[in-house]
Amino acid sequence: MHKLLLKVLLVKEFDTMDINQIKTIFPQAVLQATAVDDDQYLNFPLGSEWLVLPATGLTPREIAMLKLLVHDQSSTQTLLANGHRWFRQLFLGEKGPATTSKQMVRIIQIQIINQDATIPPAKWLAAFQSMFEHPLLDAFLISADTAIAVEKLDGKIFASDDFLGISQTLDNDFYCASKLYIGQYWPADNHLSAVFARERELFQFQIQQNTSRRIFTIANSILKYCFEKQLSQNELIVRSKHELLSMPDARATITTLYQNGGNISNTAKQLYVHRNTLQYRLRKFQTTTGFDLKDMNDLLFCYLLTFE
């Protein structure tokens, strides 16, 4: 096995390591959001995720070569993050102090992209911390372009629009583009790491969608995530989607109407059509499909069908 590892090392750039090649050599390797707190497993930081595989059967030489293969700037940042108690609690499941178990905290995940190489992301993160009325409990980088901030429920609560304004301001100052996932407030107890792992899944899913949206929450993420993971291949969904979205302007009408909470006047303004024109479209849509978009249940179902 070590000969194959050596071959990969010779032909690959370390910072562009292909996870598929690792899995070819180590079929039991898994890429996941959190590390495994078990001495029988090896955990390697890889970007904002962890490469996990059983240690059983690996020789010291193979382990050393594997460490070399996955070593990059991200692993350095992760090793530094390991010095933060909140990193260990969130990513490794370490128990926090009993005095903090009743604290309500939310985890803010940050991805900083298209950054100027001359401006370290730590400066963006430091400026982000300064925006809060009360100091954050912690903030640290876990990779070259990913950071975590931990906020205690205390005083002023920033809403999504507030975070959007902060993001836009800092991005202009530091010549980069950031995306944030704003977590819910959760008790800082021993269940926090499991809840955080699910929030990380949502954020990573949204990043992969390559959407122009900058601020993500459970409210604007969970429907699309669950639809893609559980419903997208359902025969009823597939057939309904084909029939409904083949109609002219159906996708834009459904999406805009849903985003405006079913409000006809606001939807018409955003679509740049007369209110009566929109009313006609809705009646025609109902006649053709049987779905009444003025009914929130029908609107929600049709909105799910607009997901790519």
Nearest of 100, 79, 101, 98 to residue 35 by alpha carbon: 79
Q: pLDDT tens, 32-41?
A: 877 776 778 8
| This prediction's pTM | 0.68
For 44, 57, 156, 177, 216, the CA distances from 125, given in Å and listed in that order, are: 24, 41, 20, 13, 18
Neighbours of 114 (CB within 10 A): 10
| pLDDT score recorded for residue 51 | 80
Right CATH number for 232-305 from 1.20.1260.10, 1.10.1740.10, 2.102.10.10, 1.10.10.2840? 1.10.10.2840
Both tokens assigned to 184: 């819910």
Q: What is the mean pLDDT of the chain?
A: 83
With a CB cutoff of 8 Å and minimum separation 6, the contacts of 9 are 65, 68, 69
The reported pLDDT for the residue numbered 268 is 94
Ranges 10-14, 112-116, 159-163, most confident: 159-163
Q: What is the mean pLDDT of residues 273-284?
A: 93
Cβ atoms of 128 and 110 closer than 8 Å? yes
For domain 84-224, give the fold: Alpha-Beta Plaits (3.30.70)
92 pLDDT higher than 70: yes
- CB distance 217 to 160 below 8 Å: yes
Provide CATH 1.10.10.2840 ranges for the chain.
Answer: 232-305
Q: Which residue spans of the chain are classified as CATH 3.30.70.270?
A: 84-224
Quick one: pLDDT band at residue 55, thresholds 50, 70, 90?
confident
Render pLDDT for 229-271 as a digit per residue (tens, 0 to 9).
Answer: 777 677 887 878 777 877 888 889 999 999 899 999 999 999 9
Query: What counts of helices (H) and strands (E) characterise the chain?
Result: 14, 9
At how many degrees (to 10) do helices 60-70 and 2-11 cross? 20
